[in-house]
């Protein structure tokens, strides 16, 4: 009986041992399966969106002056001297092939393209003394709100020859203006006066010359402007100027660099007909009757470059 009981006990121990082994296998079997047997389903990954670049804010422009402020400013017309106006020592004009027509009777001019700039003068929508519609040429742009600001020609001087003992003065002046104060239109032609070659030409934006001829210019004492950017201020007929014989006078925004006054005005430079085919002018550009008619067909505000 005792042996049988021991045997049962041994058998029970054996069963426990086997059971322990099974438990061990089951425990081991709970470890992760080989990678090949448990590949996860692919997951879709959404791309990270790129940040949207923020736009650079446009520069502000000066606030529009009131009518009272405009009326108190000096008018930049062809007999005026406004010392704050700019010349070639302040700016480097580049033809923008754009004509600017004032949107109001008076528009403000500035010495710099800045929101804090104070107006220094005005430009009128009509040409003083002859009362014809005015326009001017654009020589630079400054981006900003409401179209930014434009660098335009003015018909005034910023000083006269002899001021401060200097026998010369700039032939042309410029100023900045609010683009919103003008109607801007594209130009496809300009006038080029080659002083060294004594020629006048109409040049297209593509460089093509549509008209050209020899011209009679000023002398060293009464020179025609050179290295000067300006514009057609007016094209008109004045019967009082008898030597033009009824042909158009092309008035420019440039002045003599050496003569303070001539013919009752501030020594303005014009392109006009003169019957004597010989001799020199007092700084004006003498051309044929046919060329005066050709130039008169160009819009007021057309750019002129004296080289």
The residue assigned the tokens 């500035």 is 110
Helix H or strand E encompassing 71: helix 67-72
Both structure tokens of 156:
């005034």
- Residue 147, by phi and psi: left (phi above 0), alpha (psi -120 to 50) or beta? left
Q: Whose structure tokens read 């004045």?
A: 238
Q: For residue 255, indicate whether it is catalytic.
A: no
DSSP H helix total and E strand total for the chain: 3, 15
| Dihedral over Cα of 225, 226, 231, 236: its sign | positive
Catalytic choice (78, 90, 282, 284): 284
**Dihedral pair phi/psi, residue 211, rounded to 5°:** -160, 140
Catalytic residue among 90, 92, 255, 272: 272
| 284 flagged as catalytic | yes
- Quickly tell me which residue has 């006048």 as its tokens: 200
- Which residues are known catalytic residues? 272, 284
């Amino acid at each position: 009986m005792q042996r049988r009981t021991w045997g049962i006990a041994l058998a029970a121990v054996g069963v426990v041992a086997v059971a322990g082994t099974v438990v061990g296998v089951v425990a081991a079997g709970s470890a992760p399966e080989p990678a090949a047997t448990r590949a996860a389903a692919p997951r879709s990954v959404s791309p990270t969106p790129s940040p949207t670049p923020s736009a650079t804010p446009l520069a502000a422009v000066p606030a529009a002056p009131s009518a009272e402020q405009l009326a108190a400013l000096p008018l930049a017309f062809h007999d005026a001297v406004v010392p704050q106006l700019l010349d070639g020592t302040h700016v480097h004009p580049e033809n923008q092939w754009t004509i600017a027509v004032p949107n109001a009777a008076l528009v403000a001019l500035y010495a710099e393209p800045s929101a804090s700039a104070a107006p220094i003068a005005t430009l009128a929508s009509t040409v003083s003394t002859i009362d014809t519609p005015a326009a001017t040429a654009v020589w630079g742009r400054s981006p900003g709100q409401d179209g930014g600001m434009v660098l335009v020609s003015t018909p005034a001087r910023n000083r006269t020859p002899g001021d401060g003992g200097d026998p010369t003065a700039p032939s042309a002046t410029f100023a900045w203006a609010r683009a919103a104060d003008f109607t801007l239109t594209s130009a496809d032609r300009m006038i080029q006066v080659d002083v060294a070659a004594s020629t006048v030409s109409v040049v297209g934006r593509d460089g093509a010359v549509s008209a050209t001829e020899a011209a009679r210019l000023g002398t060293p004492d009464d020179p025609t402007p050179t290295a000067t950017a300006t514009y057609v201020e007016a094209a008109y007929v004045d019967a009082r100027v008898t030597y033009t014989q009824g042909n158009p006078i092309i008035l420019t925004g440039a002045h003599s660099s050496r003569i303070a006054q001539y013919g009752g005005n501030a020594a303005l430079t014009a392109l006009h007909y003169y019957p004597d085919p010989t001799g020199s002018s007092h700084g004006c550009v003498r051309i044929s009757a046919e060329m005066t008619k050709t130039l008169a067909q160009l819009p007021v505000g057309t750019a002129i470059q004296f080289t």
